[in-house]
Amino acid sequence: MITQVLPIDDLSLEMAKAEIMRGGVVAFPTETVYGLAANACDTAAVEKVFAVKGRPNDNPLIVHVHKDYDLSELVTDIPSYSHLLTKAFLPGPLTMVYKSKGTVSKAVSCGLDTVAIRIPSHEGAQRFLKYVNIPIAAPSANLSKHVSPVTALHVFDDLNGKIPLILDGGKCSGGIESTVLDCTGAVPCVLRSGLISREMIAQVVGECDEYVFKDGEKVRSPGMKYKHYSPKCETALFSFDDREKAFELYRTKSSEGLKVFLMCDDEVAKQSGCSDILNLGKTENEIAANLYDKLREGESVAELIIAVAPQKQDGVMVGVMNRLKKACG
Ligand code: AMP
Ligand code: MG
C-alpha cells in the first residue's frame, strides 16, 4: 500500500472521508499528537486500528467528534460539572469518560460500559471531524509502545505502507496526549494526566481526584498499565537533584565512544557542559510540546539518551513526568 502525506484541503478531506466510510483508517493531526482514525460505529474498522498499531485489545480508544456534535447521541448521565469543564476547556486536550449509550462499537471501549470522548481544538482536526460528521475512534498514530507522533513524518516513519493517507497539519502544538478524566462519579477523576492539569480542573469545579492504581484492583484506565512511548535506543533517567550524576554518566559513556545525548530543559542544558543536547526548551508548555519530538530525534542519532527530569513537578509537569518515566525509566 502506498501511503500519501497530503496537506488538509477539500481534496484530501474527500479522500479521507471516502476511506473512513469504506471502513479504512487514516491519520489526522490534533493539538496533542497525531491520531489514527476509524469509524467508531464500524467494528471491523475499529479492529483495523488495533491491528495496524499492534495495540493490545484491552486498551480502549478515545472517540473524537467535532465541536457541534450532539453528545447525547453517544453518552448518557452527563454530570453538571461536565458542562462547566466543557465551557472552560473544550475544544481542547481534555478527554471525558461517560456512560456509553451503545451507539459506538463495543470494540472501542474493550468491554467497558463507558466511552471516552474528545473534542480536539486543532483546526485541521475540526475540519476533518466536521467533514466526516461521524464519531471517530482514534488512538495515537504510532506503532504500539513507540513514541507518539507529533508530526506527519513521525506517523509516516511508523505506518508507511500500512495506511493509505496521512493528513498533514504540521507539528502538534501540545505534544503530550490529552488528559483523560472520568466523569462518571460525583467528583471528576483524572485517569491520565495531560495538558489540562488536575489543578486547572479543580479550579473550575472545586474538586478533582487523581486515580492511583492499587495492586490487585481492576485498572480503571487500561492504557495506563502498558509500557509506552519508548525510543528505540538505550535510555536513562535522572531526577533534577541528581543532574550532576547525569552529566557524569554522559562524560563516562562518551569517553567510551558511545553516541550519547543529554535530554533536559534549557537551564540544565546550560549547566551541563555537555555538547550533544536534546533541548526541551524553557517553559512547561515548551517542554511538553518538545518531549516526543526530541525522543524521536534522539533515537535517530543517539545510542544512549540520558534524560534529566524538570525541577517543577506539578501542573503540566505531572503529565510530562509520567511520559518521561515510561519512555526512559
Ligand atoms: P491513546 O489512544 O493511546 O491516547 O490511549 C487512550 C487512553 O484513554 C488510554 O489510557 C485508555 O485507557 C483511556 N481510555 C479510553 N477509553 C476509556 C474508558 N472508557 N475508560 C477509561 N479510560 C479510557
Ligand atoms: Mg498512544
Q: What tens digit of pLDDT does each residue of 113-150 get? A: 999 999 999 999 999 999 999 999 999 999 999 999 99
291-314 mean pLDDT: 96
Q: Which ligand is nearest to the CA of 139?
A: 1
Angle of helix 284-301 relative to helix 316-328, nearest 10 degrees, comes to: 10
Which residue lies with its CA nearest to atom 1 of ligand 1?
139
User: What pLDDT does residue 227 have?
Assistant: 62
> Is the separation of the CB atoms in 104 and 42 below 8 Å?
no
Q: Does any ligand 1 atom lie closer than 6 A to the CB of residue 192?
A: yes
What is the position in ligand 1's atom list of the atom closest to the CA of 116? 16
User: What pLDDT does residue 221 have?
Assistant: 72
- Residue 219, pLDDT > 90, answer no
C-alpha cell belonging to residue 151: 508530526
User: What pLDDT does residue 76 have?
Assistant: 98
Least confident of 32-46, 156-170, 206-220, 311-325: 206-220
Q: Does any ligand 1 atom lie closer than 6 A to the CB of residue 177?
A: yes
Q: Which residues contact 9 (CB under 8 A, 6 or more apart)?
A: none
Distance CA 212, CA 111 (A): 21
pLDDT in tens, 222-264: 766 666 678 999 999 999 999 999 999 999 999 999 999 999 9
User: What pLDDT does residue 213 have?
Assistant: 77
